[in-house]
């Protein structure tokens, strides 16, 4: 059992304890232990074997015993009992905005409701509003939340889908009788959320595909030569099994999107060519990729991320598809948190991890003082962190640490420190973390005010959305983009797979209007530095090239760029 799974179980116990109304500090202790284990560099199993589990912070005698049981026996009686005593539906209800453990408990205790479906029905019957502590507004809010959840249902984060797609590809490649294998569909197009994982496998033996995938679920063959299965994560997968010589066209076809295919087929029609899901004019096009499909139509290769049916085919016809950003173009990491605020690793640990990934600089951007929940930095602690960064930079071993901050944009649009303190940072990310309920005009004015502050370098996660969990706050994104361009402020493409904000649909508009973009992982632990790959996918989807993205610069170039901006606006 790996650390991720152990951490997840401890986290679930903490939620179950809250739902049962147990001592909240006990629940928090489990949460702390979960976090602590997630941050460990070595496997818990190894610590158990060496009798060193008690050295992990947050693990006392009781938890050492329980975690040891989990590792040795593969299960924990306490968790099993707890889990059995709480209906699964109650955990799902917690995803509804405005519903916390106490309210869910009350709904269960007084109305006997155990599923979201029943809850919806009770709201429609006006039964919730009569419950003590609840009212009309709460009932409406819950109904709205349920509507939102329904919209999200059947969608999955790109990060999970990519991980699952990898596992599928590995499983298929392990079989010699399967030729070419590639990821297609929404995952290949790097949609921020996906409904299915599509793959194309070149073989005339669907049975082999089924055998190869049996360890991952219960694969079955549909009549159209498609193998389907539901993965352990809950994501459905479709593997299109085609003869190897039809691979290239099938990969093109199943990558989509439908709108893109319509444009390509129109192009083919004009050229007097027929293109179906298998061949061109009945003749297969050979290739391990689908580039030959585009070549045969006289088109420049269209990277899968751009295949959304806008103007990509027209651009390709005129050789106007730009060189898109690649992960190798990035030299520095912007926007990570450390133990100073709500991160799990120290400045040095984050720096070591960034160096290990080949980056040459790292901007540490912890939370500012108003973010009490995230242990935001007082002015004194800012200075303390700066001293630590200076000391680490004195023998930097190839990685430079920049003094950054993620400052809250206060409700009135001011930043969270006096101007003289803000001037001490190399880089200032300004983000909205509170008061999401302003009107669009008020919110936009608030953000514009922050953009106009001379110290603001980057506008963090510009719309504040959390994918499959929370809509962004209302904001006039185009106005924000224009203000940012005018005042030399960089727009963040937050690469956390939960955010991917700014959205790629806005990124292209920003790029066309001269905006500069930074890609930041918003990492709260070392492992999350690798989240930049999701940002790169979305950047490509937004038609960005290396020149549009500021962390393709060297540290010196970036600092010069930021200083220039400051001197211009002061």
Partner DNA sequence: GCCGTTTTCGGCCCGACTGTTTTCAGTCG
Contact residues toward DNA (CB under 7 A) are 23, 25-26, 28-30, 32-33, 57-64, 78, 97-104, 129, 132-139, 141, 372-373, 375, 411, 433-437, 470
CB of 367 to DNA, least distance (A): 9
Nearest residue (CB) to DNA, 127 versus 547 = 127
Helix (H) or strand (E) holding 559: helix 555-569
CA distances from 553 to 360, 364, 425 (A): 10, 17, 19
Q: In angstroms, what is the minimal distance from the CB of 195 to DNA? A: 25
In whole angstroms, how large is the CA radius of gyration of the chain?
A: 26
Give the contacts of 85 (CB within 8 A, at least 6 positions apart): 20
> Which CB sits closer to DNA, 27 or 158?
27
Least distance in Å: CB of 413 to DNA?
14
Peptide bond connecting 257 to the previous residue in cis, omega within 30 degrees of 0:
yes
Residue linked to tokens 């589990």: 53
CA pair distance 204, 244, nearest whole angstrom? 7
Nearest CB to DNA, comparing residues 118 and 352: 118
Identity of the residue, 319 or 437, whose beta carbon is nearer to DNA in the bound complex: 437
Q: How far is the CB of 432 from DNA (least distance, A)?
A: 8
Q: Which is nearer to DNA, 34 or 523 (CB)?
A: 34
Query: How many CB atoms within 10 Å of residue 438?
Result: 17
Number of H helices, E strands in the chain: 24, 14
Minimum distance between the CB of residue 481 and DNA, rounded to whole angstroms?
23
Q: 510 CB contacts (<8 Å, ≥6 apart)?
A: 481, 484, 485, 491, 502, 517, 542
Is the bond into 502 cis (omega within 30 degrees of 0)? Answer: yes
- The distance between the two most distant Cα atoms of the chain, rounded to a whole number of Å, is 76
In the bound complex, what is the minimum distance in angstroms from residue 374's beta carbon to DNA?
7
CA distances in angstroms from 69 to 1, 55, 56, 229, listed in the order given: 11, 17, 16, 33
Least Å from the CB of residue 124 to DNA: 16
Min dist CB 63 to DNA, Å, is 3
Helix axis angle for 477-486 and 440-451, nearest 10°, is 10
Q: Positive or negative CA dihedral for 18, 21, 22, 26?
A: positive
- Minimum Å gap between C-beta 479 and DNA is 23
CA distances from 14 to 17, 21, 22, 82, 147 (A): 5, 11, 10, 10, 27
Residue number with CB closer to DNA (14 or 455)? 14
Nearer to DNA, 433 or 524 (CB): 433
C-alpha to C-alpha distances, 48 to 32, 44, 71, 76, 207, nearest whole angstrom: 19, 6, 8, 15, 42
Closest to DNA by CB, 32 or 45: 32
Q: Token digits for 539?
A: 């950047």
Burial track 420-432 (b if 16+ CB lie within 10 A, e otherwise): ebbeebbbbbbbb
Nearer to DNA, 239 or 502 (CB): 502
For DNA, the closer of residues 339 and 357 by Cβ is 339
| Residue 128 vs 515, nearer CB to DNA | 128
Q: Which is nearer to DNA, 123 or 533 (CB)?
A: 123
What tokens does 235 get?
Answer: 């994501």
- Phi then psi for 198, rounded to 5 degrees? -110, 135
Provide the minimum distance between the beta carbon of 334 and DNA in the complex, in angstroms, as a whole number.
20
Cα distance between residue 367 and residue 376, in whole Å: 5
CB of 29: closest distance to DNA in angstroms?
4
Q: Which CB sits closer to DNA, 104 or 549?
A: 104
Question: Which C-beta is closer to DNA: that of 101 or that of 333?
Answer: 101
From the CB of 52, what's the least distance to DNA, in Å? 13
Instruction: Give Cα separations from 326 to 55, 166, 329, 511, 521 (angstroms).
Output: 41, 19, 5, 16, 15
Give the separation between CA 282 and CA 409, rounded to whole angstroms: 60
Q: How far is the CB of 469 from DNA (least distance, A)?
A: 8
CB 282 within 8 A of CB 242: no
Residues 6+ apart with CB under 8 A from 359: 330, 331, 332, 333, 399
Question: How many beta carbons lie within 10 A of that of residue 46, not counting itself?
Answer: 12
Q: Closest separation between CB of residue 56 and DNA, Å?
A: 8
């Amino acid at each position: 059992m790996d650390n991720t799974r152990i951490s997840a179980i401890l986290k679930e116990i903490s939620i179950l304890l809250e739902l049962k109304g147990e001592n909240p500090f006990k629940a928090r202790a489990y949460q702390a232990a979960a976090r602590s284990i997630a941050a460990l560099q070595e496997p818990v199993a190894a610590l158990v074997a060496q009798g060193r589990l008690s050295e992990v912070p947050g693990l006392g005698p009781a938890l050492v015993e329980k975690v040891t049981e989990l590792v040795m026996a593969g299960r924990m009686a306490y968790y099993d009992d707890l889990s059995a005593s709480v209906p699964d539906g109650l955990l799902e209800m917690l995803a509804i905005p405005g519903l916390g453990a106490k309210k869910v408990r009350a709904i269960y205790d007084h109305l006997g409701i155990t599923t979201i479906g029943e809850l919806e029905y009770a709201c429609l019957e006006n039964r919730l509003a009569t419950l003590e502590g609840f009212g009309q507004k709460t009932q409406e809010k819950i109904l709205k939340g349920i509507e939102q959840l329904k919209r999200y249902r059947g969608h999955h984060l790109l990060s999970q889908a990519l991980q699952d797609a990898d596992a599928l590809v590995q499983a298929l490649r392990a079989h010699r009788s399967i030729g070419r294998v590639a990821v297609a569909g929404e995952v290949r197009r790097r949609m921020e959320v996906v409904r299915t994982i599509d793959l194309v496998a070149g073989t005339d033996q669907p049975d082999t595909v089924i055998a190869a995938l049996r360890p991952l679920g219960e694969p079955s063959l549909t009549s159209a030569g498609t193998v389907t299965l539901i993965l352990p994560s809950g994501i459905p997968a479709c593997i299109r099994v085609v003869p190897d010589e039809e691979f290239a066209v099938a990969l093109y076809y199943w990558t989509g999107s439908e709108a893109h295919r319509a444009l390509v087929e129109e192009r083919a029609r004009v050229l007097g060519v027929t293109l179906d899901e298998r061949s061109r004019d009945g003749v297969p096009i050979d290739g391990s990729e689908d580039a030959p499909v585009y070549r045969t139509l006289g088109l420049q290769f269209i990277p899968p991320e751009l295949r959304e049916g806008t103007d990509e085919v027209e651009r390709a016809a005129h050789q106007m598809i730009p060189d898109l950003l690649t992960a190798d173009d990035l030299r520095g990491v912007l926007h990570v948190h450390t133990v100073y605020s709500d991160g799990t690793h120290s400045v040095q640990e984050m720096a070591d991890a960034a160096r290990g990934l080949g980056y040459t600089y790292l901007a540490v951007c912890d939370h500012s003082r108003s973010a009490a929940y995230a242990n935001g930095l007082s002015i004194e602690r800012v200075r303390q962190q700066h001293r630590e960064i200076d000391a680490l930079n004195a023998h930097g071993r190839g990685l430079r640490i920049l003094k950054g901050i993620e400052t809250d944009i206060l409700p009135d649009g001011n930043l969270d420190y006096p101007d003289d303190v803000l001037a001490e940072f190399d880089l200032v990310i300004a983000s909205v973390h509170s008061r999401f309920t302003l009107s669009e005009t008020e919110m936009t004015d608030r953000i514009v005010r922050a953009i106009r502050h001379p110290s603001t370098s980057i506008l963090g996660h510009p719309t504040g959305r959390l994918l499959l969990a929370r809509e962004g706050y209302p904001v006039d994104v185009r106005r924000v983009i224009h203000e940012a361009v005018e005042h030399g402020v960089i727009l963040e493409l937050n690469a956390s797979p939960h955010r991917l904000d700014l959205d790629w649909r806005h990124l292209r508009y920003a790029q066309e209007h001269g905006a500069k973009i930074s890609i930041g992982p918003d990492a709260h632990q070392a492992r999350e530095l690798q989240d930049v790959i999701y940002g790169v996918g979305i950047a490509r989807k937004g038609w960005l090239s290396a020149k549009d993205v500021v962390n393709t610069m060297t540290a010196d170039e970036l600092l010069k760029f930021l200083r220039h901006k400051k001197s211009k606006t002061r």
